[in-house]
Amino acid sequence: MRIHLEVMKRGFEDCFTGCSLMDLYAKCNSFLDCQSVFSEIPDRDVACWNVLISGFADQGMNTEALNRFEQMQCEGVHLNPETFVCILQSCTIDIGRTLHANLVQEKFEQISCVSSALVNMYVKNGLLSEAYEVFSDQIFHDIISWTALISGFVEGGLTKEAFNFYKQMRMEGQSPSLVTLVCLLKACELESLDEGRKFHAMIVKRGDEGDSLIGAPLVSIYAVHGELSEAEKLFEKLPARNTALWTALIAGYTDHGKFKEALTCFEKMQDDGIPPDLSTYVWAFQACCGLKDLDMGLALYTVAVKSGIEQATPIGSVLVELFTKCGMHVESREIFDSLPVCDLFTWTTLISGYVQCGYMEEAVNCLRDMQTDGITPDAVVWDLVISGYAEYNDYEKTVELSAMMQQQGLLPDTSILLNIVHSCTCALVMEVGKRVHAQVVNLSGANSLFESAFIDLYGKCGNVNYAEKVFQGFPTKDLIPWNSLLISYALQGESKAVSLLLERMIELNINPDGNSFQSTFIVCSHAGLLFESHCYYQLMKYCFGIMPTIKHLTCFVDLVARAGQLSFARIMVETMPFQPDLVLLHAMLSGCRILGNVQLGHEVFAFAKSLDRGHAAAYVLMSNIYIEDPLSIYT
């Protein structure tokens, strides 16, 4: 301001001096003063307008920049290449394309700074192919163009293409700037630690390791890939520890479950007098969530209030998550309702908390409420709720919600689709499962897990023909689909089909496992095939070295007991290497009821009661034994 007053005293209010003052005020974010100087310049030329537009654009005030650009044209000021460079960074894609056409008409598009600004404009709007087209048409590729292109492809997740552009850049004799290296380090975060080490070595060789711009991305590479000790060593070496550098280390600790270390780092950062930014607070709150440390979270919130960022949506979201994880759902909802803006991320956080704690009704209510508030749930939100119901074995609700999700044009991811198929199987809802099957047919991620899930679905719903078709339709078959078809046959009592399929597996050198033999025992038990069951038992134990589990022995005991060989069944139970469970004892009691063996029934019933006094099935079976032999109750 003193400089401005001195200029006014001396009467240096020409365009050059005015532009210098405007630039100073714009960079200090003092736009009222900047516009005041602009209005005082008597003969404003294109340079004055460029400085004003550039000032707004650099601070992200795109609407103001575009308004001044329009005003400039209305006043008949002739646009020069610098004008386009200034305004292109504030453009939406529609305005940008119009300006691109104007540039071609004015023959400005081949000027290096203009074409670089065009590349950057298309990159910012996510149109990478158009950015590359402009880039390819350039006569000379400067470092700004290369950096804009590399940055765009990195942000779009196309890291391999970004590395290829870097190689081309080097072949053309261009050296990367620090900004280029920051973009490439971001690509290394997403793709490869080895590439990151190479760039680190280059940065050290150039003498740029201590630069404040490069420190945080370097630490972040090692932290993201779990090399926290290397991240710490690098952090200790760097002289300029700014907010970004501290945040990179805190993020690394939090991301890899080192929550206490993250909070210790946050405290050291404050002790060093480095002010945390919004990102730092979010990572620190995430560490509190990981520890479920409500007291620390509230203390952190107090610090955030003092810094004036407590109302920021990301802070509100992690507070909601913290209270939810600590089981304080009422308080969590109160914080949520107090937020000025609840975006998709905040709703997702609240719903995720409810799902994790099993409050599925509240989660579904949130799903409805967010749509009422004009927020459309994405696939992540739907997947959260659907997987929650699947985990809590509410199969009908899982199927219902998956249908609603697909009505909105969203397809669940592969893991959720598997959950839906499993729910259809458990709820015996074959028609919904068939619709999912039709969607999965052309899915690139379809594999033997899907094949097995659909075989299981059709088999358990009683349609073995469909199960066979699915099985035959897959070119490569590992053990899982074979087992799924085996159990499908077994549940339908197809003992011959089970036997033939097992033989076919062995012929093809697909060794059966415990699940394979479980299917043979189930079908033998249902059909009363005692001899065949013995054969399978010997084959399993002595040919394939599979030790029988309690599930195998339960089927075997059930078969032996119902065949009238209770004494043999008793010997099997008494010589088992593990304690019988209630399912096995239930099978023994069933055999005792069929054969009217009250004495053994008493013994088995007493043992069952010792495991679980409230096991209703045992009481029912014992009652039936007494009903069929009423006098035995007095003996």
Strand spans (E) along 128-173: none
Q: 54 pLDDT band (50/70/90 cuts)?
A: confident
263 CB contacts (<8 Å, ≥6 apart)?
A: 284, 287, 288, 291, 296
- pLDDT value at position 447? 61
CA 433 to chain centre: 25
Q: What angle do CA 492, 493, 497 make, to 5 degrees?
A: 95
Nearest-CA neighbor of 331 among 309, 314, 305, 353? 353
Nearest-CA neighbor of 77 among 56, 118, 52, 48? 48
| pLDDT above 90 (res 456) | no
104: its two tokens? 């071609």
- Length of the chain in residues, anyone? 635
- pLDDT value at position 28? 74
- pLDDT value at position 5? 47
- pLDDT value at position 12? 42
102: its two tokens? 């104007």
| pLDDT above 90 (res 129) | no
Over residues 155-176, the mean pLDDT reads: 90
Over residues 283-294, the mean pLDDT reads: 88
240: its two tokens? 């300029």
pLDDT digits (tens, 9 = 90+) for 403-437: 888 888 887 777 777 878 888 887 777 877 777 77
Contact 321, 331 (CB under 8 A): no
The CA distance from 14 to 10, in Å, is 11
Over residues 64-92, the mean pLDDT reads: 80
CA 385 to chain centre: 14
The CA distance from 521 to 84, in Å, is 79
Over residues 270-295, the mean pLDDT reads: 88
- pLDDT value at position 10? 46
| pLDDT above 50 (res 141) | yes
Nearest-CA neighbor of 236 among 227, 249, 247? 249
Helix axis angle for 46-58 and 31-40, nearest 10°, is 170
| pLDDT above 70 (res 513) | yes
Average pLDDT, the chain: 83
The CA distance from 251 to 258, in Å, is 10
| Residue 430 neighbours by CB distance under 10 Å | 17
Nearest-CA neighbor of 119 among 108, 132, 109? 132
The CA distance from 30 to 40, in Å, is 16
- Tokens 């038990």 sit at which residue? 525
- pLDDT value at position 9? 45
- pLDDT value at position 565? 85
pLDDT digits (tens, 9 = 90+) for 324-365: 878 788 888 888 888 878 888 889 988 988 888 888 999 999
Strand spans (E) along 262-363: none
| Residue 600 neighbours by CB distance under 10 Å | 19
| pLDDT above 80 (res 496) | yes
- pLDDT value at position 257? 92
Nearest-CA neighbor of 625 among 611, 635, 615? 635
The CA distance from 385 to 379, in Å, is 10
pLDDT digits (tens, 9 = 90+) for 550-608: 888 888 888 888 788 888 888 888 888 888 888 887 888 887 887 777 777 777 777 77
- pLDDT value at position 631? 45
- pLDDT value at position 514? 93
pLDDT digits (tens, 9 = 90+) for 292-334: 888 888 888 888 877 776 666 677 788 888 888 787 888 888 8
The CA distance from 217 to 245, in Å, is 8
**Of the listed ranges 62-66, 194-198, 527-531, the one predicted with least confidence:** 62-66
- pLDDT value at position 487? 92
Distances (CA, A) of 472 to 417, 455, 466, 469, 481: 21, 10, 10, 5, 10
For residue 324, the number of C-alpha atoms closer than 13 Å in the C-beta half-sphere is 26
The CA distance from 618 to 335, in Å, is 50
- pLDDT value at position 633? 47
pLDDT digits (tens, 9 = 90+) for 378-412: 888 998 998 888 888 787 788 788 888 888 888 77
175: its two tokens? 């050296």
Q: 629 pLDDT band (50/70/90 cuts)?
A: low
- pLDDT value at position 13? 56
The CA distance from 600 to 589, in Å, is 8
Q: 615 pLDDT band (50/70/90 cuts)?
A: low
Say whether 147 sits in a helix, a strand or coil.
helix
Nearest-CA neighbor of 185 among 223, 142, 242? 223
CA 131 to chain centre: 29
